[in-house]
């Protein structure tokens, strides 16, 4: 074997080893979820469940509030993403298709706003939403408060990525539409919207994932079992002790991760490179 080939083999072996280390926690979660309790509690681990069981999954979904909290999460996430996409699309059109004074400051503002860590704002948002009635309306334990926060949380990067997708659309197409007698707005709706649809899908999936994964605000603003979201539900699964039903915990974790992973795989390629500008990480 030539030293060159040996080195190549070495790098590839390292690559496979790295894959194993990185993926192991995900593998271990799924593997545990299917194992009977005696295999989970044994000191010598079983790598692959010999007799897979679905017991932990049925236990998890039959736990109090699972379906209620899934429903809450779906409502919060869908409404927040829907509203955010409409608002972000309008702003992205303005930024990409018009030159107006204040445009550059707005762009800088968007980048700056993304840098604000949510944790820094929990105190005023908590007090304002949960204790000081806004317009005579108290938002404690109501999904609407969380929706408003999620809209604001996903807006900056949504505007930013949508603008990136709009940039890719040739100007000639719009001009052709306008020559055809459309107003400028008509041209946007009929020509731009279909072209930017893949971008809208990708951006909304990312907004979906961000809101689905959010923990701090959901934990603070919704403190009743029946009005929680799934991340909070999962964080309470163990109770306060470390000796727990790990099979159920891993099954519940798997269930909550599935929608995110599926959506993520769908759009990762499309959006990965627009991300450097957006603070999109868990």
Of residues 135 through 164, those in contact with another protein by CB under 8 A are 148-149, 151-152, 155-156, 159
CB closer to another protein out of 150 and 227 = 150
Going 91 to 173 to 200 to 82, the CA torsion angle's sign is positive
Nearest distance in Å: CB 71, another protein: 18
Tell me the window of 51-59, 61-69, 195-203, 212-220 that interacts with another protein (CB under 8 A). Answer: 212-220
Instruction: Find the angle CA(4)-CA(5)-CA(6) to the nearest 5 degrees.
Output: 90
* Cα distance between residue 84 and residue 177, in whole Å: 27
Our finding on whether 274 is near another protein (CB under 8 A) is no
Our finding on whether 265 is near another protein (CB under 8 A) is yes
- Of 2, 23, 71, 222, which one interacts with another protein (CB under 8 A)? 23
CB closer to another protein out of 120 and 170 = 120
What backbone phi and psi angles, to 5 degrees, belong to 135? Answer: 50, 45
CB closer to another protein out of 51 and 242 = 242
* Cα distance between residue 113 and residue 88, in whole Å: 15
Q: How many CA atoms lie within 13 A of 136 on its CB side?
A: 0
Nearest distance in Å: CB 170, another protein: 18
Nearest distance in Å: CB 29, another protein: 5
What number of chain residues touch another protein (CB under 8 A)?
Answer: 105
Site string for another protein, 182-201 (x = CB under 8 A): xxxxx---------------
CA dist 77 → 168, 206, 213 (Å) = 28, 11, 10
Our finding on whether 75 is near another protein (CB under 8 A) is no
Tell me the window of 10-18, 49-57, 66-74, 193-201 that interacts with another protein (CB under 8 A). Answer: 10-18
Token readout for 148 is: 């408003």
Residues 76-135 that bind another protein (CB under 8 A): 87-88, 90-91, 93-95, 98, 100, 102-104, 106-109, 111-113, 115-128, 131-133
Tell me the window of 56-64, 168-176, 192-200, 254-262 that interacts with another protein (CB under 8 A). Answer: 254-262
Our finding on whether 234 is near another protein (CB under 8 A) is yes
Our finding on whether 275 is near another protein (CB under 8 A) is yes
Nearest distance in Å: CB 93, another protein: 6
Site string for another protein, 55-74 (x = CB under 8 A): --------------------
């Amino acid at each position: 074997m030539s030293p060159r080939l040996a080195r190549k083999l070495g790098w590839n072996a390292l690559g496979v080893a790295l894959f194993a280390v990185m993926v192991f926690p995900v593998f271990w979660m799924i593997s545990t979820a299917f194992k009977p309790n005696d295999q989970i509690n044994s000191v010598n681990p079983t790598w692959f469940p010999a007799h897979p069981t679905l017991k932990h999954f049925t236990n998890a979904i039959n736990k109090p509030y699972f379906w209620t909290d899934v429903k809450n999460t779906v409502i919060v996430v869908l409404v927040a993403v829907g509203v955010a996409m409409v608002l972000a699309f309008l702003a992205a059109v303005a930024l990409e298709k018009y030159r107006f004074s204040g445009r550059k400051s707005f762009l800088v503002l968007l980048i700056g706003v993304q840098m604000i860590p949510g944790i820094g704002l929990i105190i005023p948002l908590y007090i304002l939403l949960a204790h000081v009635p806004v317009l005579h309306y108290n938002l404690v334990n109501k999904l609407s408060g969380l929706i408003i926060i999620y809209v604001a949380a996903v807006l900056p990067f949504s505007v930013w990525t949508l603008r990136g997708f709009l940039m890719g659309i040739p100007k000639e197409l719009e001009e052709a539409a306008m020559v055809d007698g459309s107003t400028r707005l008509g041209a946007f709706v009929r020509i731009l919207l279909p072209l930017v649809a893949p971008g809208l899908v990708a951006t909304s999936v990312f907004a979906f994932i961000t809101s689905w994964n959010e923990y701090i605000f959901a934990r603070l603003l919704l403190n009743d079992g029946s009005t929680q979201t799934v991340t909070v539900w999962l964080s309470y699964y163990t109770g306060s002790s470390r000796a727990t039903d790990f099979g159920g915990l891993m099954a519940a974790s798997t269930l909550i991760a599935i929608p995110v992973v599926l959506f993520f795989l769908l759009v990762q390629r499309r959006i990965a490179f627009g991300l450097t500008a957006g603070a999109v990480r868990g």
